[in-house]
């Protein structure tokens, strides 16, 4: 939503508009604020942006939504930022110079601002700012997701298989460390960018994941988040510091995954498993672009988690039909991924591949052997997979129990609908078994 955009269709309610702006424009607003107050005032920019949105909610609820809500919030935020600068008792000359500079930048962003910086995108540049090498890697990503991507604490917690309280504590510690250590949030250039690339890639990966499979709400797909992640990754691979095999692999993964969007839901908005998807609807243009970037990623000897995940996506996208899927290659990819980047989620996906190759009992055995499996207990997908494997073994009571547990944990409408159907299936006459696939 740019400063010149009118009210989006279907978002006439003040709370919806503010939420929409917060989720999709936080990074750009922070970028504009930081050009005014300075990158070292990151906390101030965050506070000002939040206050502007609160004022919007209060004002619009009483007086109605203005014709250009984005411009309204941006202007209020700028005014609040100027007031904060004055409150800090900056010299009149310096403050005037900053404001004058901002006004010039705002009127000619492509000339005045971008001409003196290497990365010509506010959101991407600020991701590099957040990924300061003095901050722990996970903390870098959490900070970027919270400050720039508008993620809630709950969404971040689910992405890290953690609790909201743990993420809140991590954010507090990170901000305290920034304040106490005097970490300078300056815009990195040249060789300094390379040391921050992994944090930026991780933030983009999680931004895309939240769009590919939302962690809560009525919508499974958040195409806008995926489009923004793809846009930023596309900008990144054109820059010398970001033109690396792992960056190309991440962009390939995003494109190949997005290609399946047209067939992931049925006409009623319910989740479709991989074997039920109409492959003729897959976007062949995106698949071709994804394969091209995957070929670029193959240059050199680097092998990252993004290479392997993109490879798995490519195997699915190039299989002419579900029966032709090369599960042996997929399992090899998961074995290697589990070696270089082990996690309970990777191990769970590996167990699904094992089940496809060696049967449902082998899949259950693989799940039983997952290290730190307890971290998955609060994740619906574990119990959905268990339900499907038990169903295929005709353990219908165990299947129903697992589906019921999964349904209680699922927070996205299409997933809840899918699990309700699976639970009803398990509760029906258990005498006959229907051949089904695991959730895709």
CA–CA separation, 368 vs 14, rounded Å?
48
Task: Give the model confidence (pLDDT) of 65-77 as tens digits.
Answer: 787 887 888 888 8
182, 204 contact by CB (below 8 A): no
339-427 adopts what CATH topology? Answer: 1.25.40
CA–CA separation, 33 vs 65, rounded Å?
23
pLDDT in the model for residue 251: 97
What integer is the mean pLDDT of 125-152?
A: 81
Nearest to 26 by CA among 176, 129, 164, 144: 144
427, 404 contact by CB (below 8 A): no
Which pair of tokens denotes residue 249?
A: 């692999």
Which has more confidence, 437 or 225?
A: 225
Q: What are phi and psi of 217, to 5 degrees?
A: 110, -175
3-state secondary structure of 3: coil
131, 203 contact by CB (below 8 A): yes
Judged on CB neighbours under 10 Å (0-12, 13-18, 19+), 86 is exposed
Residues with Cβ within 8 Å of 388's Cβ and at least 6 positions away in sequence, in order, are 360, 399, 422, 436, 438, 439
Distance of CA 80 to the CA centre of its chain: 30
Which pair of tokens denotes residue 61?
A: 């609820």
pLDDT in the model for residue 308: 96
Segment (H or E) for 362: helix 360-368
Which pair of tokens denotes residue 254?
A: 């995003």
Task: Give the model confidence (pLDDT) of 76-90 as tens digits.
Answer: 888 888 888 777 654
pLDDT in the model for residue 109: 40
The boundaries of every CATH 1.25.40 domain in the chain are 339-427
CA–CA separation, 46 vs 42, rounded Å?
6
- Has residue 436 got a pLDDT over 70? no
CA–CA separation, 146 vs 142, rounded Å?
6
Task: Give the model confidence (pLDDT) of 259-270 as tens digits.
Answer: 999 998 888 777
Q: What are phi and psi of 347, to 5 degrees?
A: -65, -35
Report in angstroms the alpha-carbon separations of 189 from 85, 135, 195, 291.
27, 18, 11, 30
The angle subtended at Cα 192 by Cα 191 and Cα 197, nearest 5°, is: 100
CA–CA separation, 201 vs 313, rounded Å?
18
- Has residue 99 got a pLDDT over 60? no
Task: Give the model confidence (pLDDT) of 7-27 as tens digits.
Answer: 443 445 767 776 767 666 676
Max CA pair span of the chain: 83
pLDDT in the model for residue 252: 96
Segment (H or E) for 197: helix 197-212
Task: Give the model confidence (pLDDT) of 105-115 as tens digits.
Answer: 343 343 333 33
Task: Give the model confidence (pLDDT) of 282-293 as tens digits.
Answer: 999 999 999 999
What integer is the mean pLDDT of 355-372?
A: 96
pLDDT in the model for residue 3: 40
385, 351 contact by CB (below 8 A): yes
Q: For the chain, what is the radius of gyration of the CA atoms?
A: 24
- What number of other Cβ atoms are within 10 A of residue 61's Cβ? 13
* DSSP label of 194: G
* DSSP label of 271: B
Nearest to 156 by CA among 206, 85, 118: 206
- Has residue 362 got a pLDDT over 60? yes
Task: Read off the pLDDT band of 433 (50, 70, 90).
Answer: very low
Task: Read off the pLDDT band of 188 (50, 70, 90).
Answer: low
Q: What are phi and psi of 133, to 5 degrees?
A: -65, -15
- Has residue 367 got a pLDDT over 90? yes
Which pair of tokens denotes residue 43?
A: 């906390």
Task: Give the model confidence (pLDDT) of 402-422 as tens digits.
Answer: 999 999 999 888 888 889 989
Average pLDDT, the chain: 81
pLDDT in the model for residue 330: 97
CA–CA separation, 229 vs 232, rounded Å?
5
pLDDT in the model for residue 316: 95
382, 376 contact by CB (below 8 A): yes
What integer is the mean pLDDT of 424-436?
A: 59
Which pair of tokens denotes residue 325?
A: 């899927």
- Has residue 353 got a pLDDT over 60? yes
CA–CA separation, 262 vs 218, rounded Å?
17
- Has residue 296 got a pLDDT over 60? yes
């Amino acid at each position: 939503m740019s400063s010149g955009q009118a009210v989006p269709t279907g978002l006439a309610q003040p709370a919806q508009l503010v939420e929409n702006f917060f989720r999709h424009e936080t990074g750009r607003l922070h970028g504009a604020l930081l050009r005014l107050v300075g990158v070292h005032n990151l906390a101030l920019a965050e506070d000002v942006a939040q206050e502007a949105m609160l004022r919007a909610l209060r004002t619009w609820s009483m007086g109605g939504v203005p014709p250009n809500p984005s411009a309204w919030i941006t202007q209020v935020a700028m005014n609040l930022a100027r007031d904060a600068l004055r409150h800090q008792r900056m010299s009149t000359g310096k403050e005037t110079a900053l404001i004058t500079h901002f006004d010039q930048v705002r009127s000619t962003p492509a000339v005045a601002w971008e001409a003196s910086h290497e990365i010509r995108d506010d959101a991407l540049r600020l991701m590099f700012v957040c990924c300061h090498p003095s901050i722990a890697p996970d903390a870098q990503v959490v900070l970027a997701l919270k400050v720039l991507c508008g993620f809630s604490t709950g969404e971040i917690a689910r992405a890290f298989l953690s609790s909201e309280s743990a993420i809140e504590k991590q954010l507090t510690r990170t901000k305290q460390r920034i304040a106490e250590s005097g970490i300078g949030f300056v815009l990195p250039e040249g060789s300094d960018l390379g040391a921050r690339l992994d944090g930026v890639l991780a933030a983009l990966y999680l931004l895309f994941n939240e769009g590919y499979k939302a962690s809560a709400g009525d919508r499974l797909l958040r195409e806008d988040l995926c489009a923004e992640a793809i846009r930023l990754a596309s900008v990144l691979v054109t820059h010398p510091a970001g033109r690396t095999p792992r960056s190309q692999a991440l962009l390939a993964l995003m494109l190949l995954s997005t290609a399946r969007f047209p067939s992931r839901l049925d006409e009623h908005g319910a989740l479709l498993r991989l074997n039920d998807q109409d492959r003729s609807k897959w976007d062949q243009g995106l698949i071709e672009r994804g394969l091209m970037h995957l070929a670029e990623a193959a240059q050199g000897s680097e092998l990252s988690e993004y290479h392997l995940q993109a490879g798995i996506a490519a195997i699915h996208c190039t299989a002419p039909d579900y029966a032709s899927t090369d599960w042996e290659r997929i399992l090899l990819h998961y074995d290697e991924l589990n070696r270089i980047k082990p996690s309970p989620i990777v191990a769970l996906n590996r167990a699904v591949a094992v089940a496809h190759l060696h049967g449902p009992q082998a899949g259950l055995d693989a799940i039983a052997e997952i290290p730190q499996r307890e971290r998955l207990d609060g994740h619906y997908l574990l119990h959905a997979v268990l339900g499907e494997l038990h169903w295929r073994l005709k353990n219908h009571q165990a299947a129903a129990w697992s589906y019921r547990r999964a349904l209680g944990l699922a927070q996205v409408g299409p997933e809840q609908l899918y699990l309700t159907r699976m639970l009803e299936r398990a509760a029906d006459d258990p005498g006959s078994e229907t051949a089904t696939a695991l959730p895709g």
